[in-house]
Chains A and B, each alone.
Chain A
Amino acid sequence: MERAAVVNIGGPDRDRTGGVRSRTFAELLDRRVIDGAYHYATLMMGNRADAEDATHDAALTAWRHLGELRDPAKFEAWFGRIVVNACRDRLRSRRRMPLHVALDPELSSPDPNSGFARRDALAGAIRSLSADHREVVVLRFFADLTVDQIAARTGVGAGTVKSRLHYALRDLRAAVDAEDQGRSRP
């Protein structure tokens, strides 16, 4: 079976013991990959609790569908798509059933007394982007993916990715410029 490709890479008795599969899964979904997923989820969800839940959702989904991954070398990209979808699902649910709406103060409150007020303003503007726009900004400038890689990860065309990036950056610039002008007033 195709699904055995990944499950079986752990060892000869992998079909009979969860231990082998567990080890294999742990090898694929290591701390570095989890960190990356959590970082992305934090930026998308805006708070740690939802980011943890989305990351955990994604890990569960990955475990469930591990057998559908034909090439273990592509695990990270495959898991990345799952994380993107997990965040989308949670954002949709939150919009309809706002169980968690508050942003983490530590992640969301600009500190006007710090030397990073502009960066904080930019962070606020990023959080204010639509989910679709925030998604491409995070994948482009945090995950350092190319436009084509973002297209593959999000399931939209490269042209759409470019368009979203363009408008997102335009909105971010506008927000930061407005902040700059506000600060420069007497």
Chain B
Amino acid sequence: MKSDESFERDVRASLLASTDEHAPDDLVARIGEIPARQPSPSAGRGGLHLAARAAVNLAAAAVVVVAVAALIVTRNGNLPPGGQPNGSGSLPTASAQTATPAASASPSVASSAPSATSTGASAAPTSILGLSPASATFVSATDGWVLGKGTCPSGSCAAIMRTTDGGRTWAAGTAPDAPIFPSPSQGAPGISRLRFADARNGWAYGPDLWATHDGGATWTRLTISGLPADAAVVALEAGNGSVHAAAFDGQGYRIATSPVGTDDFRLSAVRVPVGAGPVPAVQLVLSGAAGWLLENDRTVVGGARLVNGTWVAWQPPCLNVVGPAYLAASSATELAAACDVGLWSSPTGSHLFVSHDGGATFAEAATAVPLTTTGQITAASPSVIVVGGTDATGGVLVATFDAGRTWSVVARLGTADPVELGFTTATQGVLVAASGDAPATFWMTRDGGRTWSVVGAAGG
């Protein structure tokens, strides 16, 4: 047997012999082009970042709470533009029983006009949630949950906080016994996102799938019949009494649907193929009985649509814009898509496309979205649309209150990305913003998207 030193020399020699002398010239050239093709680092986020990472991180998130809103719409009828909230007669404050939030975290009373200065930038708030948020879900103006990374020896324990008073106070809930990751695309077993359909039925997913039917007291890990045991669930939304999960089956994305109260997932026949890009990302959007799946893989790849209870192939918007699209729905017929036009060819920024026929056709809005790159979109109504992304200053939320004719900055996120964004009611919405390894922040609006304030976040 060789000596340790001799053997280690062999290891070195073997490694040296296993690599090329230099990186390929075309790779060096591509890297050299990055500064010219990506937004400047002072913007906090690059084009790929929001185009790919937000897609990756979020898979389903673009419309997360839109789906929740859909639940409410289903129960209460379609919300009129600018309609009244469901059960949120007064604006809550951010005072918490367990801790006091930073002053900048106090939600503002609705202002008469959007204000870029009404919310703090990326100021680190004190912890009122006791976790670093990864995902938020509300089933009403009062009942919500936040999934995040809690403190544990491994540093990646899932933790859940629950509110029953619209975010005023939070109490620890029971989380699945699983690692937590920032993105559903992680290969390792674990979870990254949380959705509830009502007070009892919820799911934690991405890539694994867990379910609770007792309000989060107990969780059970599920597999979906017909899919590989380790199939990654990359998007999930619940609405209209059903839960829909998108999962990769080795060839493409399949959609499985179950009644919310059981774990009886049935696969639909439709399969959306994987694109040619490196990181496919799937969004699920529900509104009442209607639903849409959109897949980006650098550019828009394909989609599916829920029609009369059946998922069928669907041609999503922005298939030919050489960039990704982000979809939201404010009703079964009213859709909005923010598309990064030319992101992978000649970038021209974010553009809004709207549909009034359930996604059969889309038309571009008159005014471009004032963003360099897009990451999230949500719509409280056809007129009120909030888009998250980046501009020259970094992460930002912009909103239109006149169906895309004019836009205003409503929150600045500093170096953070919007990773989940959605309206729970016509006036109440949530945002999770994250920046690399830094603690994530959880924001809420209670005035229809005009002002956003940090509710809580914690330290990593």
Contacts and interface: CB of A to CB of B under 8 A. Distances in A.
Interface string B40-66: 111011101100000000000000000
A173 interface: yes
Interface of A is mostly: helix
B207 interface: yes
A66 B34 CA distance: 12
B10 A119 contact: yes
Interface stretch (B15-23, B317-325, B420-428, B447-455): B15-23
Nearest to B18: A123
B16 A142 contact: yes
Nearest to A57: B278
B156 to A, nearest CB: 11
A126 B230 CA distance: 26
Contacts of A48: 20, 24
Contact of A15 (B14, B19, B42, B45): B42
Contact of A123 (B7, B17, B31, B44): B17
Interface in A30-82: 31, 34-35, 37-39, 42-43, 48, 52-53, 55-57, 59-61, 63-68
A92 B207 CA distance: 11
B38 interface: yes
A66 B274 CA distance: 31
Given A43-B15, A119-B10, A119-B14, A7 B42 contact: yes
A102 to B, nearest CB: 16
B145 interface: no
Interface residues of B, number: 50
Given A38-B23, A96-B230, A173-B1, A142 B38 contact: no
Contacts of B17: 116, 119, 123
B416 to A, nearest CB: 12
Interface residues of A, number: 62
B13 interface: yes
Contacts, number: 162
Contacts of B31: 29, 34, 55-56, 59
Given A38-B23, A48-B20, A59-B31, A64 B14 contact: no
A91 B187 CA distance: 8
A141 B186 contact: no
Contacts of B40: 7, 18, 21
Given A52-B24, A68-B415, A126 B42 contact: no
Contact of A60 (B34, B230, B274): B34
B30 interface: yes
Contacts of A120: 14
B232 interface: yes
Contacts of B125: none
Given A55-B27, A60-B48, A173-B7, A119 B38 contact: no
A140 to B, nearest CB: 9
Contacts of B250: 98
A7 B44 CA distance: 12
A63 B186 contact: no
Contacts of B41: 3, 6-7, 21, 25, 63-67
A90 B279 CA distance: 9
B49 A177 contact: no
B152 interface: no
Contacts of B23: 31, 34-35, 37-39, 52, 55
B15 A177 contact: no
Nearest to B230: A96
Contacts of B278: 53, 57, 90, 93, 99
12 contacts: A3-B41, A21-B41, A34-B28, A56-B31, A59-B31, A63-B34, A65-B436, A68-B415, A90-B278, A96-B230, A141-B15, A176-B10
Interface of A: 1, 3-4, 6-7, 15, 18, 21-22, 25-26, 29, 31, 34-35, 37-39, 42-43, 48, 52-53, 55-57, 59-61, 63-68, 90-99, 107, 116, 118-120, 122-123, 126, 137-138, 141-142, 169, 172-173, 176-177
Given A123-B17, A126-B15, 12 more contacts: A34-B23, A43-B15, A63-B34, A63-B46, A64-B46, A64-B48, A67-B41, A67-B44, A97-B187, A119-B17, A169-B8, A169-B11
